[in-house]
Homo-oligomer: A and B are copies of this chain.
Amino acid sequence: MAGDLIPPLRAEALIREHFPAFSSENVDLEEAQGRILREDLHADRELPPYDRAAMDGIAFSSAEVAAGRREFAVVGFQPAGRPASRLPAGEGSCHEIATGAVLPIGADSVAPYERIALRDGRAAFEEGFTPGPWANVHRRGSDAARGARLVSSGMLLTSPEIAVAASIGKARLRVARKPVIGFVSTGDEIVAVEQAPLAHQIRGSNGPALAAALRRFGYSLSKKMHLPDEPEALRRGIGALLQSCEVLILSGAVSAGRTDLVPAALEACGARRVFHGVAQRPGKPFWFGTGPAGRPIFSLPGNPVSVLVCLYRYVLPALENASGLSDLANETAELASDYEVKAKLAFFLPVRIESRAGRLLAHPQPPNGSGDFAGLAGTSGFVELQPGPNRVAAGTAVPLYRW
């Protein structure tokens, strides 16, 4: 690591500064869930587009009720999906009506079946029931005027926004394009998941964990490569991925040891270091830079806890930001018990989250050192504690990152 360690907030700011925004693309509505909208959606008609019955019952003129009428002759039925019927000229008539139907011409009010008695072709109002104009009518334009902005660019698309898009006829939506993301793992002790490791070997878990984390946010890992701890092989492999990937993530060989060859290999490929070393535990040797074409490169320490923590703390928020997400999650939780941070490093503490009476309680689940990724199973995520020496008291609000 070169020079001083920088604090996490500074690392985050430098990443944003060097991370170009993704372009956008059009996708089918059914593919749009979880994507980030990159256009404003406007009402193509008034919403609702017509005076719409909000209940099943009868439609009539409220002026007659105001004048004292308590009973109407039922002379027609207005179903949904049919043009508006017309009440007869003169007084005393109503039409039955279905929820969702357009109000008959001449009617301005709906009485639900629950408040009327229907007998021998006549509808009589319940005692004391005196509906005024527009009772149980969802009035034309009352939700939105034609041309009104219904959904803004930058919004994460969930089911309500998809419903709105469908209702205004947007069968395709403009959303942030997903980048091509590449991953390089290093470490000569690593074998594939399917392989039986020798006594001094372990199976590689960073690729699968990274792919899962990306997938949870709707990204996919396009290209994967495992490279040996050997300068020329690293240079060639990294060079190839820098050509084909828009975001490159590496794990391992980024610290100060004899086989920590990744920073040199990156620089040999024309990458430019933005920082190397963050005042945090785990993940201190984190290197970030940009490729020859300005593409972001995250070179993370190889141990699985560091990889996961750096992914959720830096990489995923950077992807969301580059996608144009307007409302980046800044969730906090209350630490459920005191926790002592000893080193002068920000500490990422795994926690189990409990929702209790509107509060998020973060119960510390400290791993057994930064190599203990098994200890992360069943945790909800981690919180970020300020550098030590400091005793963080129970009840302190701390930033929360969820797996």
Contacts and interface: CB of A to CB of B under 8 A. Distances in A.
A168 interface: yes
Contact of A164 (B98, B144, B205): B205
A179 interface: no
Contacts of A79: 188, 229, 258-259
Contact of A208 (B47, B114, B162): B162
A374 B144 contact: yes
A369 B167 contact: no
A83 B188 CA distance: 11
Given A189-B80, A193-B171, A208 B163 contact: yes
Contact of A159 (B29, B33, B357, B403): B403
Contacts of A187: 80-81, 100
Given A169-B193, A257-B56, A369-B138, A82 B203 contact: no
B169 A377 contact: no
B113 A205 contact: no
A213 B159 contact: yes
* Centre residue among A29, A81, A212, A255 by max chain B CB count within 10 A: A212
Given A168-B203, A196-B169, A188 B80 contact: yes
A262 interface: no
Interface stretch (A11-19, A238-246, A267-275, A330-338): A330-338
Interface string A371-399: 11111111100000000000000010110
B376 A358 contact: no
A258 B371 contact: no
Interface in A84-113: 84, 96, 98-102, 113
Given A82-B200, A193-B29, A203-B168, A308 B159 contact: yes
Interface in A245-277: 252, 255-260
A375 B98 CA distance: 23
Contacts of A206: 163
The prevalent SS among residues of A at the interface is: loop
A190 interface: yes
Contacts of A101: 189, 200
Interface string A61-81: 000000000000000010111
Nearest to A333: B358
Contacts of A56: 255-258, 260
A204 B158 CA distance: 17
Nearest to A31: B215
Interface in A154-177: 155, 157-171
Contacts of A209: 159-160, 162-163, 166
A332 B357 CA distance: 6
Given A80-B187, A114-B256, A368-B143, A167 B374 contact: yes
Nearest to A48: B371
20 contacts: A34-B216, A49-B202, A54-B370, A77-B258, A80-B188, A82-B200, A96-B258, A99-B302, A143-B368, A143-B372, A159-B213, A159-B308, A161-B377, A161-B378, A163-B206, A163-B209, A164-B377, A169-B194, A334-B358, A334-B359
Given A34-B215, A79-B258, A81-B190, 8 more contacts: A29-B193, A47-B372, A57-B257, A155-B377, A158-B212, A162-B212, A167-B205, A333-B358
Interface of A: 29-30, 32-34, 43, 45, 47-50, 52, 54, 56-57, 77, 79-84, 96, 98-102, 113-114, 138, 142-144, 150-152, 155, 157-171, 187-190, 193-213, 215-216, 229, 252, 255-260, 302-304, 308, 311, 329-334, 355-362, 368-379, 395, 397-398, 403
